[in-house]
Amino acid sequence: MSCVMGLKRKLGREDEGEGVQEPKLRAVVLEDAEEAYAVQRQAVLQLSLQKLCAQVETALLRRVLITNTLRHVQQELSKQGAPSIAPAAGADATGVDCGSGVEVEGSLTPAWVLEQDGELFFSLQSSVPAHSSTSLSRAYQKDSFSTALAEIEDLCPTLTSLDTSTSMSSSSTSSSTSSISSLSLSSLITQLDPQQKQTQIPTGLNWSCDYATSYSPVCLPELSLDDFLFSDIDNFLCELNACSQNSSLTLPSGSTPSKVVSITDDFMRSLSGQHLKPDLNELDHIMEVLVGS
Amino acid sequence: MEGDGGSEFRQWCLSQVKGAIDDDVTEADIISAVEFNHSGELLATGDRGGRIVIFQQEQESKALPQSRGEYNVYSTFQSHEPEFDYLKSLEIEEKINKIRWLPQKNAAHFLLSTNDKTIKLWKISERDKRPEGYNLKEEDGRYKDPTSVTTLRVPVFQPMDLMVEASPRRVYANAHTYHINSISVNSDNETYLSADDLRINLWHLDFTDRSFNIVDIKPTNMEELTEVITASEFHPLQCNTFVYGSSKGSVRLCDMRAAALCDRHSKLFEEPEDPSARSFFSEIISSVSDVKFSHSGRYMMTRDYLTVKIWDLNMESRPVETYQVHEYLRSKLCSLYENDCIFDKFECCWSQDDSEVMTGSYNNFFRMFGRDGQPGMTLEASWESSSPRCPLRPWRVCAGSRRNDDEIGVDCLDFSRKILHTSWHPQDGIIAMATINNLYIFQEKLN
């Protein structure tokens, strides 16, 4: 598992920063360390969600610890999100720091998306106000969340009642990639209008933060449904209740652990992001066209 | 290490291995509790099947004055059965979480055993005589015809084969909403505490229909829950004092004289976090898995995932000694989080004279620390590579995947083989520990 610091850096980064040699090296080393950190953070986030979803009867101690870990990761991501609201000068030219585009509410961003954001941030920085770039990366978070959700859905077959009208219920990672591209495009177009409220984005994903921060390991029934703004969440929550109370669970308990393992492996493979390079360039091109840089 | 005076470290020899020696382990046979009684004559083990097996030490034989007696099976009984909570549709496991012996007051032995929800007081007594010569009954139990009785006689006790009986004397039920993780008998020998994730209750041994709640950390809004109770113990000498450890790495000492509800601690033992060592898993690895007072009552030991800490009860700010159990795992925390090993709860124990402490690790290793600041010794519980009366050779754990006679790489460690439950004889150099389904007994080599 590549949770160790010092990942090999990817080939694509060599064309960045054509300036002086030394600062480039320093920036590159910093990138690696921060990228590795972000990868690990994302892994921890995903693992925590998977565990909370899969472990139905587990000890309260374990659930509290996992929830606290999740909360910690969320807080870290939201802290990184704050500087991006300020003028773009605050952000330094590191790809991963564009996890700074991550905002409180939609912070489930796999590393490959952060990498994506990095590319886009560079192209946007000079020409687009910070607000839009934030919105842009916000759009990507939402979309990347669908990938995470898809993976979790594979894990918990009962949790498939999420509203499919937003085309987010695709179950395979590869197909969701292309749907993400198209989805992000449409969201992007909506978002470039600064007056658009964030709620226009398919917000079946807002539960991610609320879920993590208000998740009550023992007494899910005590969760107030007022926390969630949209009725299409309610079905999901009901399924989640069923999950935790184990009253009408249809998951075969024996198969769950192996699913967790296979999902994790798949997830780790997807983190390498190598198969997404063509999409990266495509999106880059689309962004340039739209922004008119 | 002969002639070392206090000796740098003791030498340990494998004395006995109990349990099946094969790789096919049934879930029910996995040992979940190990505890010596107050004299050390009896050793109790509990397993996931709800059974308790008690071993008794042989009287020391004159032929081998150097070695202490062996432990043989004394009694086996089913302590807890699986139950079903119909209200919550949850199964209550019969797994024995803890066993605690009561100090012996008469010929019988008493112990408390608990699963997730119910505590039971068991009386273990011997019967080696039986009455014979009843007037109205035959020897096989059939009733005599009263008209055939012509004389009367007094029944007398005749010796019989030793029979050990275990009978449940008390059942303390329905007092815990959450899972019981600890029980501890008070030094007054009349009361004991039971702790679950959010509450600690005080019981009188004689009364099963009532208990007093002495600690309650349940928040009014469960969504605000961030900390749970993980372990609790009474002070060995002061009947008003007890401690409980939390999932956030703090230990609170409470005095029952201060208030009926001890939500406000008298002392808080917490080491400030080292900011340079902060990671995503800092909180999880700081969770206290076990807390044990020293025999003297002056010190307290806590076990978290990577360390053993010794605290002076008079100093709350930081421990007086810290020992790294398996620091080489710090870089592997992410993997250990993934396979759930990071949640393993290891126990720890003091030596009979409080000069050493011992705790378990992975790969069936266990660690001995001499309380002299030394890094400690790593020994292995393995029947294959140990022979009786032969001192155990210490291991070293190195980076990578090397494997020699006395060195093993981190990548070769078997995380499915772990020693969670350990107990030290209260008066002697004998230690007992449980691997997955075997009980290992080691004796200190006498010089």
Inside any domain, residue B3: no
Residue B89 is classified by DSSP as: T
Residue B80 pLDDT exceeds 80: yes
Task: Please give the torsion angle defined by the CA atoms of residues B261, A217, A245 and B173, in that order, rounded to the nearest 10 degrees.
Answer: -20
Inside any domain, residue B335: yes
Q: Please state, as a whole number, how many other Cβ atoms lie within 10 Å of the Cβ of residue B8.
A: 11
ipTM value, please give it: 0.91
Residue where the block lists tokens 């969630």: A228
Residue B405: both structure tokens together: 């006679």
Instruction: Give me the pLDDT at residue B359, please.
Output: 97
pLDDT band at residue B218 using 50, 70 and 90 as cut-offs: very high
Domain carrying residue B277? 12-444
Instruction: Give me the pLDDT at residue B140, please.
Output: 83
Residues of A in contact with B227 (CB under 8 A): 64
Residue B322 is classified by DSSP as: E
Region B313-318 average pLDDT: 96
CB B332 within 8 Å of CB B326: no
pLDDT band at residue B436 using 50, 70 and 90 as cut-offs: confident
Strands B365-369 and B377-380: antiparallel
Inside any domain, residue B2: no
Cα distance from B427 to chain A (closest Cα, Å)?
A: 34
Q: Report which of residues B86 and B112 the model is more confident about.
A: B112
**B contact test, residue of A2, A61, A253 with most B CBs within 10 A:** A61
Cα distance from A225 to chain B (closest Cα, Å)?
A: 13
Q: How far apart are CA B120 and CA B44, in angstroms?
A: 14
Strand residue runs (E) in B173-279: 182-185, 191-195, 199-204, 212-216, 229-234, 241-246, 251-255, 267-269
Residue B422 pLDDT exceeds 90: yes
Instruction: Give me the pLDDT at residue A61, please.
Output: 94
Instruction: Give me the pLDDT at residue B401, please.
Output: 85
Q: For residue B278, what is the nearest residue in chain A, using CA coordinates?
A: A72
Closest CA to A29 of A6, A13, A10, A12: A6
Residues of A in contact with B230 (CB under 8 A): 61
> What CATH number should be reported for the domain holding residue B37?
2.130.10.10
* pLDDT tens digits, B277-301: 889 999 999 999 999 999 999 999 9
Instruction: Give me the pLDDT at residue B215, please.
Output: 96
Instruction: Give me the pLDDT at residue A56, please.
Output: 67
Q: Does A222 sit within 8 Å of B223, measured CB to CB?
A: yes
Region B147-175 average pLDDT: 93
Region B229-236 average pLDDT: 98
Q: How far apart are CA B109 and CA B114, in angstroms?
A: 17
Q: How far apart are CA B152 and CA A10, in angstroms?
A: 101
Instruction: Give me the pLDDT at residue B48, please.
Output: 96
Instruction: Give me the pLDDT at residue A214, please.
Output: 39
CB B253 within 8 Å of CB B267: yes
Q: For residue A76, what is the nearest residue in chain B, using CA coordinates?
A: B280
**Average pLDDT of chain B, as a whole number:** 92
**Percentage of chain B with pLDDT > 70?**
96
Residue where the block lists tokens 């009561």: B102
With left for phi above 0 and alpha for psi between -120 and 50, is residue B7 left, alpha or beta?
Answer: left
Report DSSP letters for B16-82, one per residue.
Answer: EEES--SS---GGG-EEEEEE-SSSSEEEEEETTSEEEEEEEPPPPSS-TTSPPPEEEEEEEE----
CB A133 within 8 Å of CB A101: yes
Q: Does B287 sit within 8 Å of A61, measured CB to CB?
A: yes
Instruction: Give me the pLDDT at residue A251, please.
Output: 38
Q: Any long-range contacts for A231-237 (C-beta under 8 Å, 24+ apart)?
A: A232/A162, A232/A163, A232/A204, A233/A204, A233/A206, A233/A207, A235/A161, A235/A162, A235/A163, A236/A159, A236/A161, A236/A162, A236/A204, A236/A207, A237/A207
Instruction: Give me the pLDDT at residue A7, please.
Output: 53
Q: How far apart are CA A48 and CA B331, in angstroms?
A: 18
Cα distance from A245 to chain B (closest Cα, Å)?
A: 7
First to last CA, chain B: 9
Tell me, yes or no, if A41 comes closer than 8 A to chain B by beta carbon: yes
Q: Please state, as a whole number, how many other Cβ atoms lie within 10 Å of the Cβ of residue B397.
A: 20
Inside any domain, residue B7: no
Inside any domain, residue B22: yes
Q: Does B280 sit within 8 Å of A72, measured CB to CB?
A: yes
Inside any domain, residue B4: no
Closest CA to B55 of B425, B387, B427: B425
Instruction: Give me the pLDDT at residue A279, please.
Output: 61
CB B320 within 8 Å of CB B312: yes
Cα distance from B230 to chain A (closest Cα, Å)?
A: 8
| Domain total in chain B | 1
The lowest-confidence range among A210-219, B64-73, B330-339 is A210-219
pLDDT in tens, chain A (293 residues): 444 455 555 554 444 444 445 666 667 777 788 888 888 899 999 999 999 888 666 789 999 999 999 999 999 888 887 543 333 333 333 333 333 333 333 344 444 434 444 333 333 334 434 444 444 444 444 444 445 555 555 554 443 333 333 333 333 334 434 433 333 333 333 333 444 333 333 333 333 333 433 344 433 444 443 443 333 444 444 444 444 444 433 434 444 444 444 444 444 444 444 444 556 677 777 777 776 65
Q: How far is CA B416 from the centre of its chain?
A: 20
Task: Please give the torsion angle defined by the CA atoms of residues A214, A220, A223 and A229, in that order, rounded to the nearest 10 degrees.
Answer: 80
* pLDDT tens digits, B127-148: 999 999 888 888 887 888 888 8
Region B406-419 average pLDDT: 93
Q: Does B226 sit within 8 Å of A68, measured CB to CB?
A: yes
Q: How far apart are CA B4 and CA B71, in angstroms?
A: 30
Of A44, A59, A218, nearest to B222 by CB-CB distance is A218
Residue B202: both structure tokens together: 């005080």
Strands B251-255 and B241-246: antiparallel
Beta-bridge partners for B91? B84
Q: How far is CA A110 from the centre of its chain?
A: 5
Q: Does B198 sit within 8 Å of A60, measured CB to CB?
A: yes
Instruction: Give me the pLDDT at residue B402, please.
Output: 81
* pLDDT tens digits, B361-397: 999 999 999 987 778 999 999 988 777 778 888 999 9
Inside any domain, residue B163: yes
Closest CA to B296 of B371, B205, B375, B359: B371
Tell me, yes or no, if A218 comes closer than 8 A to chain B by beta carbon: yes
Q: How far apart are CA B94 and CA B120, in angstroms?
A: 12
Region B72-80 average pLDDT: 96
Q: Report which of residues B65 and B112 the model is more confident about.
A: B112
pLDDT band at residue B217 using 50, 70 and 90 as cut-offs: very high
Inside any domain, residue B5: no
Residues of B in contact with A75 (CB under 8 A): none
Residue B340 pLDDT exceeds 90: yes
Q: Please state, as a whole number, how many other Cβ atoms lie within 10 Å of the Cβ of residue A289.
A: 9
Residue B94 pLDDT exceeds 70: yes
The lowest-confidence range among A264-273, B244-253, B407-416 is A264-273
Of A43, A57, A65, nearest to B247 by CB-CB distance is A65
What pTM does this model have? 0.68
Of A64, A218, A223, nearest to B226 by CB-CB distance is A64
**Radius of gyration over every alpha carbon of chain A, rounded to an integer in angstroms:** 19
Tell me, yes or no, if B328 comes closer than 8 A to chain A by beta carbon: no
Strands B407-409 and B396-398: parallel
Q: Does B334 sit within 8 Å of A40, measured CB to CB?
A: yes
Q: Does B283 sit within 8 Å of A68, measured CB to CB?
A: yes
Of B247, B280, B340, nearest to A64 by CB-CB distance is B247
CB B38 within 8 Å of CB B54: no
Closest CA to B76 of B164, B148, B157: B164
Residue B7 pLDDT exceeds 70: no
